Amino acid sequence: MGKVILTGDRPTGKLHLGHYIGSLRRRVELQNAGDFDKMFVFMADVQALTDNAENPEKIRQNIIEVALDYLSVGLDPTKCTLFIQSQIPEIAELTTFFMNLISVSRVQRNPTVKTEIKMRNFEANIPMGFFSYPVSQAADIAAFKATTVPAGEDQEPMLEVAREIVRRFNTIYAPVLVEPNIMLPENVTARRLPGTDGKEKMSKSLGNCIYLSDDADTVWSKVRGMYTDPTHLNVSDPGHVEGNAVFTYLDAFSTDEDFAEFWPEFANLDELKAAYTAGGIGDMKCKKLLNNVLNKMLDPIRARRHEFEQDIPEIYNILRKGSDAARETAAQTMAEVKAAMQINYFDDAELIRSQAERFKKD
Ligand code: TRP
């Protein structure tokens, strides 16, 4: 069996640098390496609705934002299938069957869901759909027989649930589904980008994001205001690079070529770090470097975004075509699932014949 890549995002907001370094850049590399049989990238709007039931407009608005982000970073609909989860009813169907293959207490132990319940103050009142989204996420993955799911560490518990359900399905019925593996970001800086305020995580709710769609002025004002080293008061003071968001971002995004282009006094980031630590390097200069590095990376993304914005109906068209193609794959899996579960009554000539036999009166 071939390699099938599948991954997605909840369309609850525009995508930011944390998404880019944590997953989008990798997806584009995977797409362009072509080392797979199929690649699916989707917007998990059904999952987004599990904690946004009263706010469907938010999801509806963000579908196009995320689609523009996908296309502008270089996901290419001729190389991978871009689709919208809600347009694939087979996923909902598979979720229903999966519900029987896992216990409530097993889902309750999921640490990511536990954290999310706390963050949303859902303790006393968890929507059923939100509680069970790991099961529906298992169906997202299994419906496409995905072998490989590029995702962050927080998705590990989801993948465990998916593997358990698939294993149970294959044992009880027939081995038609595929156990997926998670593909984590390659390096540590990619796993969790801090916010511009230095807080642990870049996140829309914390208001500390640099968005892929931010223009150059916006990026500069955010970079200028970034958290650095609170003990680095004068340029001549020794600075600290650990916990200094500017340096964390430089770790994540800068290359040696960037130094040649923007700050040739240093050959690479290690040299700059050594000089900063020794004292004599001002934060503003580091921020200017970071601003140049980010804009160099974001400029081609902005240019593509601008192109795609000229024809929004075409983007819906791309998503429609992708959803149609995805649905064909999912329908094929569901036919196998139903045959394995022996609920394909009308396609089972042998069943109909034998039942007729049983009721025959001589
Ligand atoms: N839970 C993922 C997130 O919050 C989104 C998601 C839904 C997903 N279904 C998926 C990711 C299947 C990978 C595979 O970002």
Q: pLDDT tens digits for the chain (362 residues)?
A: 589 999 999 999 999 999 999 899 999 999 999 999 999 999 999 999 999 999 999 999 999 999 999 999 999 999 999 999 999 999 999 999 999 999 999 999 999 999 889 888 888 899 999 999 999 999 999 999 999 999 988 899 999 999 999 999 999 999 999 999 999 988 777 678 999 999 888 988 899 999 999 999 999 999 999 999 999 999 999 999 999 999 999 999 999 999 999 999 999 999 999 999 999 999 999 999 999 999 999 999 999 999 999 999 999 999 999 999 999 999 999 999 999 999 999 999 999 999 999 999 76
Instruction: For 82, list phi and psi in degrees, rounded to 5.
Output: -100, 125
Q: Hey, whose CA ends up nearest to atom 13 of ligand 1?
A: 7
Helices and strands counted in the chain (H then E)? 18, 5
**How many A from CA of 8 to the centre of ligand 1?**
5
**How many A from CA of 12 to the centre of ligand 1?**
12
**How many A from CA of 7 to the centre of ligand 1?**
6
Ligand 1 atom nearest to CA at 141 = 12
Task: Determine the Cα–Cα distance for residues 72 and 70; give it in Å rounded to an integer.
Answer: 6
pLDDT of residue 200: 83
> Is the shortest distance between the CB of 136 and ligand 1 below 6 Å?
no
CA 122 to the chain's CA centroid: 23
Indicate the burial class of 328 (C-beta count within 10 angstroms; 0-12, 13-18, 19 or more). Answer: exposed
The reported pTM is 0.94
> Is the shortest distance between the CB of 47 and ligand 1 below 6 Å?
yes
> Residue type for 46, please?
V
Place of tokens 């990511």: 112
Task: Determine the Cα–Cα distance for residues 327 and 325; give it in Å rounded to an integer.
Answer: 5
Task: Determine the Cα–Cα distance for residues 251 and 206; give it in Å rounded to an integer.
Answer: 22
pLDDT of residue 1: 57
CA 155 to the chain's CA centroid: 9
Task: Determine the Cα–Cα distance for residues 328 and 332; give it in Å rounded to an integer.
Answer: 6
> Considering just the CA atoms, what is the radius of gyration of the chain in Å?
24
Task: Determine the Cα–Cα distance for residues 327 and 21; give it in Å rounded to an integer.
Answer: 30
pLDDT of residue 205: 85
For residue 161, give Cα distances in angstroms to 88, 105, 146, 207.
21, 12, 14, 32
